[in-house]
Structure 1
Amino acid sequence: MEKIAVASQKGGPGKTTTTVNLAAGLALTGARVLVVDIEPQAQAGIALGVRLAGPEVAKSLGLRLQQAAQGVPSTVSDIVIDCSHLLEHRAGQGKLCLLASEQATMANAQHILHAAGIEKIGVLRTLLHELDDQFDYAVFDTPPAVQALNGVALAASDYALTLCLPKHATVEGAVTMRSTIRHVKERTNGLADPKYLGVVLNMSSPQREWTLEEIEVRNLMVDTHLAPFVTDIRQDTRISRSYATGMPAVLGFARHAPGKQYAKFLQETLDRMDLPPEEWTIAPSADEVIAAAVEAKAAKEKVRA
């Protein structure tokens, strides 16, 4: 099972929608995919139509993390929730499942893991071992990097990617997150060494609507060597509506812009997982895109003349 963490320095850049659409896209290829919700806000579960309440709180991954952090033998195979019904009537469907979160239990796990420190950094990796033969991929929705749960997620990961918005502050956060990912091996005493896959620009605008800030952000992502994906995810109300209805946009709007963008992003992710960084296709800077557009327009006008 290959494990991919979607991580960011702070909350708000779209980790959850990126996580569930990446996972659902993988499932559409026929893969067996597990979404692992490590966020106390439990948003990945909501995005897949799952809300733990009442007796179902016993299925929270947070409870199993608490047990494992306290040295109590624990398992997760019995709390996997099958969400494969979301793939019905779609060709090549695989399997889509969830390890769900719940706010109180995951917040308590956060406190216990914070107190335990580096000694328990590998608890999630250990818990997931029993599922290695049951899934091809696991995709982690993680909390902000300031939480111990983020460290636990990265310590369980084989790959990690981060996100930016068209806002200056998110670039600095992405640079910090890239550094965090690259130091996981050192900070876990060799337990994990996730491969940094790059940064996705989320909630972007079409070129004709770029603000000065978005132009500067696109330039900075290249200039700071964040390895931006060629595919960015446009601002689209259909994505937020998909979250509210529990149907990822890559499924609910497969033939529309959101679904097509997530599908292209998925292919780029798989390519980067397989290739060394020097062979990746990196998004051009905004200056390069604008210069190419100006040149193309001039060439067209010259032909007309």
Structure 2
Amino acid sequence: MAVEVKQLVKRYGKLVALDHFNLSVYKGEILGLLGPNGCGKTTLINSILGLLTYDKGEIDVFGEELKPDTYKIKQRIGVVPQDVALFEELTVFENIDFFCGLYIEDKAERRRLVNEAIKFVELDKYSKFIPKKLSGGLKRRLNIACGIAHQPDLIFMDEPTVAVDAQSRNFILEGIKRLNENGSTIVYTTHYLDEAEQISDRVVIMDSGQNIADGTLEQLQQKVNQGEIINIELFDISPELIEEMRELPNLNTIEKTGKNKWRLVFDEGNNHVVQLVKFIEEHELSYTQLYSQMPDLNSIFLELTGKELRDQ
């Protein structure tokens, strides 16, 4: 076991940030840690890292309690924060070398590790650049290199793809997979649920300081009340017919997902395609790309945490 959290309680005055929270992180997995704003993710991670004291509970990392002076365990942990944390006056190489130096004293070994980290995030051409000369995506990659240069066994990544372009985002996600393939256990937090669905072996959903769902995507699909989801490209349908379609048995919601594209969510059961096709044929509508699916992670998340806006 990489991390074991048992009955963790953390209060800020009358606010209960973590309410008897339990979590297991298994060695070698990518765990997607998800939750709406204010659910307690940051408090949980800071508690695991020993940056916060807590009121009750137990936290073990690699089988030991993480204390301020347990440096051997801390050397096995890497952190990639959401906010880019770099020294603007240092070059790419010097930034990585500084953070790696917090764990590795030997200069020759540190140089080797820094060069490997630069190669891993493909910043070879930028090793002598200072951060202000880098694009947002390159800064994100440098931020990751600083957190993983000492080759930790356990890596916490907090929103590493926020505010980057599609190419940088894909590069970072592929890099996370490679880190995992090389043996690192990764705890990954994100608000991009498609990312979590793409790379996570298992997902934990937090809300109000509690672990409200824990499992693979297939296991989580069994925990929600949603039934069949049907996607369809439907042409020349009037608002009146959309309202009439809402009367189909067990139909919960209809939402437009693109030009001529609709998503229908049914409360229970399956085989709703037959009744939908019958409705379309009766009204002489044209359609393409009709297919059904199980709930995706975004649907599961909203089902479990609600659709109400949260405070930032």
Shorter-chain TM-score above 0.5: no
**More helix per residue:** 1
TM-score, normalization: structure 1? 0.32
Q: Quick one: higher RCO (CA 8 Å, sep 6+), 1 or 2?
A: 1
Larger-gyration structure (1/2): 2
TM-score, normalization: structure 2? 0.31
